[in-house]
Structure 1
Amino acid sequence: MNDNEGFPHKLLEQSIEERIAYFKNYTMAHPKLLSASQKLMLTVEEPAATSLMFLFGPTGVGKTTLLRRMTQKLLEATRPDMERDKGFIPIAGVETVTPEFSNFDWKDFYLRTLTVLKDPCIEFPISQRMTNLKLRMSVEGALRHRRLKVFYIDEAQNLSKVASGRKLRDQTDCIKSLANITHVQFILAGTYELLILRNLSAQLCRRSQDIHLERYKADNLEDLRAFQGIVQTFQRHLPLQIEPDLLKHWDFCYERCVGCVGILKDWLSRALFSALLKGDKTLTFSDLESHALKTEQCIILLNEALHGEEQLNSRRDTNALRAALGLEVATDVTPETLQTSAKKTRHHAVVGQPLPQRRPVGGGHNAC
């Protein structure tokens, strides 16, 4: 179905549960999601030396939706192979649990992995008493036997929860080792807390790929137009008798989801459920307002997003790299900087002395 057509109108004859389920299951191929999805699929199809992919972004931006979208694509692409080999699983994944006592539980991770891979050993109670080493070997065997292409770990920022004395690098080394031994690509998906686990060694830098699923930003005209289109598309897919005019309140929608599509969709799902229970024919601004996140919650979400985005700002790192390599450091020349420079020159210039100027690269003198 085309997104512009909206929901199937026969839904209006269905139960509240079915209408809610339709909207919850509806996914939109919006620009940010498509961009991250294309980069992810390209890396899966042509990994080169990449064994780990870091998929990160702010909470509620749609990372889980992206993983679900990729899963559907891989399952469709490999359906003939799966029909020929009933043991073949092209893609699988787990969601890590928040650890108790700030210590990531590897045993729990191995058991969950064996469960999703439908490994026979998980059916025996003895697996609960196996050591981490034996469980890991079982995971290695299951990944090879199932001939996986991709294994993803959602909420992977929980890997950064380590016991006192344990190195963060050990966490990613365990995953990288699994990937290398089994020839399976691993995706670590999580919030910006995941950033602490990347680039912990030169080898990890070489073997990993960063995929940033960004939020929409109001100071970017292209993002702003895309976000307004997203709001309009969502309003068309709300299974209500009268289509609500959410676009009229797009700025309020943006304000209370801080540009994250997943937050917006969850918010609209709550409002839709409430409206259907009341027997309302549409959504009003009052419905939006009563189910929106509080201002203080949005500020926390925004601050976390801004901090993560700042960590990914590589402009200053580029100059540091060029300087370390002995290359000429690029400078941004703008009318403002030129005016500032001219004022400083007029103030500090001494009569009879030549003004400082850049010499030709190589240190030689020009012949006149």
Structure 2
Amino acid sequence: MTANDRFPQSLLQNPINVRKEYFYRKTIGHPRLEQAKQNALSFIDPSGEPDIMIVTGPTGVGKTTLAMKIQDQLLERNMVRMQSDKSHLPVIRIDAIPPEKEMKFDWSDFYTRLLQAFSEPCISQKQLFEDEIYMEQPISPVYAMNSLAALRRAVERTMKMRGSRTLIIDEANHLLMVDPKLMRRQFEIIKSLSQKCNVTIILIGTYDLLQILEQSAQLVRRGRVVHMARYDDYIPADKLAFKNALFTFQRHMPFKIEPELLKHLNVFYLKSAGCIGILKKWLDNAVKEGLNQELETIDLDFILQYAHSNKSIQTVLNEAFIGESKLKDIDVRELRFMLKAHHENLGKITTKENDINISPEADIVQEQLPKLPPDKKSVKGQVGKRNPKRDTTEMNYGLF
């Protein structure tokens, strides 16, 4: 960052609300964000088959900012076509809202919000036509009015008509707020939506999303994972990246006197768990209150008033550790050991099943023995078949 890379000094002449809005809207590019964005974009192939991608990381790492960056990049890629075709919308982004009462995700609300994001008219009047009702069997015409099936079909038609190839679902971990028995069904719905609409679906959320991959091998095959990790201050490159991010925020705090945050780098790291999203939200609150009080600058003691409690940060770190351990790969030797153990077990099971005092050649010896004719006493006549003997006739009486 250069010495001139800071907020414009003319901003100090503006009202407090303008200055607060300036810092609130300020986002920065940093290595974790840029790497996750590039990884996600590299998986999106407009000419390829629809796919499902999971972008995950700890709470407050900046996943929502990442979702916006991915959307902006995809819109920029398709700008030429969008200018020539005003109806074309290559990417759409929506938040998954958690269920209000029972552990049952509201797909009807989800489809409605998705249609609203497309500015689709007459959403409340969506219904299946007669031919579509038959295609959605079993379903009655009465039930089809304003039904979930009708909304789903409207989403499919809209995405195809608008040429959308990417659907970004932020806070996608809310999709999994269902009975554990229905977890796999949720993924099947998402997979079906991807195939029917011919879109790549990007699920962005916490490490809870990894539960999807634990359902079956098929889900592992279809799902791609992009990890946006927290910064680890035990890694020199991570510590430097976090320091640069903190300095950038410091330079853009619209106070007459620039705050000195870098002197307390370790404090800011610990109280944000190395997550830029948590850091930014914390600084947003401190800057807002500092401007409300018309302070010329803010110091560490003032900023700490708006920090998360140590207990809260502990929860964030515990969740991060669990998620990171789930994503950590195993050594290839473990796979070999697993296969070896399986075949050894299989051998033991086979031995137990065949543990009988019969030599392996017994069947062969029996096959080589001559087949003896059955005992005559045991032969019985068949129903409807006469025995081979002469019948008595009238001519027999006059022969002798």
Question: What band does the TM-score fall into relative to the shorter chain?
Answer: 0.7 to 0.9
Identity among equivalent pairs (%):
37
1:22 counterpart letter in structure 2: Y
Name 1:135's counterpart in structure 2. Answer: 151
Specify the SS of the correspondent of 1:315. Answer: coil
Specify the SS of the correspondent of 2:93. Answer: strand
Q: Contact 2:103–2:177 at 8 Å: present in 1 too?
A: yes
Shift of 1:306: 1.1
Name 2:233's counterpart in structure 1. Answer: 218
Counterpart CA distance in 2 for 1:60 and 1:221 is: 21
Q: Deviations over 1:30-53 (max 9, x none)?
A: 000011011011112478556001
The verdict on how the C-alpha distance between 1:222 and 1:137 changes in structure 2, with shifts beyond 3 A counting, is same
Q: Deviations over 1:78-111 (max 9, x none)?
A: 2221121111111112111111211111111111
Q: 4+ runs of 1 displaced by more than 6 Å?
A: 1-4, 125-128
Name 2:358's counterpart in structure 1. Answer: none
Counterpart CA distance in 2 for 1:44 and 1:122 is: 30
Q: Contact 1:94–1:153 at 8 Å: present in 2 too?
A: yes
Specify the SS of the correspondent of 1:291. Answer: coil
Q: Contact 1:63–1:190 at 8 Å: present in 2 too?
A: yes
Please, which runs of 5 or more residues in structure 1 have no aligned partner?
328-368
Q: Deviations over 1:142-179 (max 9, x none)?
A: 11111112111111111112247x43111111111111
1:114 counterpart letter in structure 2: L
Which protein has the larger Cα radius of gyration, Structure 1 or Structure 2? 2
Name 1:363's counterpart in structure 2. Answer: none
- 1:92-107 equivalent positions in 2, closer than 5 A: 92-99=92-99, 100-107=101-108
Residue 60 (str. 1) matches residue 76 (str. 2): no
Q: TM-score, normalised by structure 1?
A: 0.83
1:5 counterpart letter in structure 2: D
Q: Contact 2:51–2:223 at 8 Å: present in 1 too?
A: yes
- 1:284-299 equivalent positions in 2, closer than 5 A: 284-299=299-314
| Bigger Cα displacement from structure 2, 133-142 vs 46-55 | 46-55
Residue 161 (str. 1) matches residue 177 (str. 2): yes
Counterpart CA distance in 2 for 1:89 and 1:13 is: 40
Q: Deviations over 1:14-33 (max 9, x none)?
A: 12221121112111110000
Name 2:329's counterpart in structure 1. Answer: 314
The two structures, once aligned, show a CA RMSD in angstroms of 2.3
Name 1:195's counterpart in structure 2. Answer: 210
2:337 counterpart letter in structure 1: A
Specify the SS of the correspondent of 1:70. Answer: helix
Shift of 1:238: 1.0
Please, which runs of 5 or more residues in structure 2 have no aligned partner?
129-143, 342-400
Specify the SS of the correspondent of 2:239. Answer: helix
Specify the SS of the correspondent of 2:44. Answer: helix
Counterpart CA distance in 1 for 2:301 and 2:112 is: 46
| Bigger Cα displacement from structure 2, 194-203 vs 220-229 | 194-203
Q: Contact 2:19–2:254 at 8 Å: present in 1 too?
A: yes
Q: TM-score, normalised by structure 2?
A: 0.76
Specify the SS of the correspondent of 1:307. Answer: helix
Counterpart CA distance in 2 for 1:308 and 1:229 is: 26
Q: Contact 1:50–1:208 at 8 Å: present in 2 too?
A: no
Shift of 1:125: 8.0
Specify the SS of the correspondent of 1:257. Answer: coil
Specify the SS of the correspondent of 1:287. Answer: helix
Name 1:40's counterpart in structure 2. Answer: 40
Counterpart CA distance in 2 for 1:43 and 1:10 is: 43
